[in-house]
Structures are given as C-alpha cells and as structure tokens.
C-alpha cells in the first residue's frame, strides 16, 4: 500500500513536472514570437519614416522650386489685366513671362506603401496624424491644380485672340496657389524634424 501511494505520488510529481516544462516551453515560444513581431513592427515603422522623410524632402523641393515663378507670374498677370488695349497671346506671354503654369507633381509612393504595409499603425499617433495631414494637403492641392488645367487648357482655350478670360482665370488660380504653397512649405518644415530630418 505504501509502495502504491509512493508510486502514485511520484507519477503525479512527474506529470506536474512535465506539465510545467511544456507550459514553460509554450510561454517561451509565445514570448519569442511576440519579440519577433515587435521587431518587425519597429522595422516597418523605421522604413516608413525613412521613406516619408525622403519623399517629403523631394515634394518640399518641388514646391520651393516653383514659388518664385508663381509669384512672378501672378504679378505679371495682374499687370497684364490692368493694362489697356487688346490682349493677344503674344502680349500676354511678353507681359507675364508665361512658361506654363508649372504645377507641382507630388510623389506619394511612401504613403501608398505605408498604407499597404499598415506601417502607420506602428508610428506614434501624433506623428502619423501629422504625416497624414501633409499628404491630405498635397492631394487636395494636386486635385485643384489638375482641375484648373483640365478646365482652362482645352481645345477652345486658344481659339480666340483675346486672352483676357484666360488671364482672369489664371489670376484666381494663382491667388490660391500663392496661398497654398507657402502653407505647404511651413507644414513640411514642421513635420520633417518629427521624422528625424532637418528641412
């Protein structure tokens, strides 16, 4: 009887020891999996930040490169509209220095990739929000530029010799452009240090 009790006690202890070992193994495996997943998330976030920094620098430069031209063009269009007399295209070009409207073509590959990989979820919330605002502003501005170009530069735009209507439309467009572009530059300058880059 004592022997049976001893053997049962021993098998219960053995069973408890095996259960503890299996439980510890499962716990360690879950811990390792969680560490690996956390490391992947940190890597996704770091890659996304690097991509955002590069793309925002490129987009900021694209806006900065056309700022002086858009300001000059707006002044030239205003002077052209204030002048008396006929308004043929040659006079418009001479008065304004018109070399096209030169819209900004924003890159957004980093944004698309961050959405596809869900990397935004692994960034601090305030940083993800700030980056999202930049891309929303870019998209809104790009849509505005595209709409103006489609509306103004159709097949009938240059059929008439008088460019007064074109100049008035361009004046309204450039007023908005010359408000939006400085705002975008300020937004880039605020966000770029947050992604670890000097503007």
Task: Give the pLDDT confidence of 61-119 residue by residue, as tens digits.
Answer: 999 999 999 999 999 999 999 988 877 778 888 888 888 889 999 999 999 999 999 99
Range of the domain at 78: 41-195
Q: What pLDDT, on the 0 to 100 scale, is given for residue 88?
A: 78
The pLDDT, as a whole number, for residue 13 is: 65
Number of domains the chain is built from? 1
Report the predicted TM-score, pTM, of the whole model to 2 decimal places.
0.77
**Average pLDDT over the chain, rounded to whole?**
83
Residue 114 lies in a domain: yes
Residue predicted with more confidence, 195 or 63: 63
Q: How far is CA 174 from the centre of its chain?
A: 23
Residue 165 lies in a domain: yes
Q: Is residue 10 part of a domain?
A: no
């Amino acid at each position: 009887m004592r022997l049976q009790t001893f053997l049962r006690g021993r098998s219960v202890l053995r069973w408890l020891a095996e259960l503890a070992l299996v439980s510890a193994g499962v716990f360690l495996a879950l811990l390792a999996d969680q560490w690996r997943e956390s490391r992947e998330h940190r890597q996704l976030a770091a890659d996304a930040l690097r991509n955002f920094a590069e793309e925002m620098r490129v987009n900021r430069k694209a806006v900065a490169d056309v700022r002086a031209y858009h300001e000059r063009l707006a002044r030239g269009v205003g002077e052209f509209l204030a002048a008396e007399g006929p308004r043929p295209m040659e006079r418009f070009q001479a008065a304004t220095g018109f070399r096209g409207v030169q819209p900004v073509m924003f890159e957004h590959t980093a944004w698309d990739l961050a959405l596809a990989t869900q990397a935004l979820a692994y960034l601090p919330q305030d940083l993800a929000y700030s980056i999202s605002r930049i891309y929303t502003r870019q998209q809104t501005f790009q849509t505005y530029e595209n709409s103006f170009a489609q509306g103004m530069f159709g097949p009938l735009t240059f059929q008439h010799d008088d460019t007064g209507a074109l100049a008035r439309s361009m004046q309204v467009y450039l007023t908005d452009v010359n408000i939006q572009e400085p705002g975008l530059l300020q937004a880039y300058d605020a966000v770029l240090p947050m992604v670890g880059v000097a503007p």
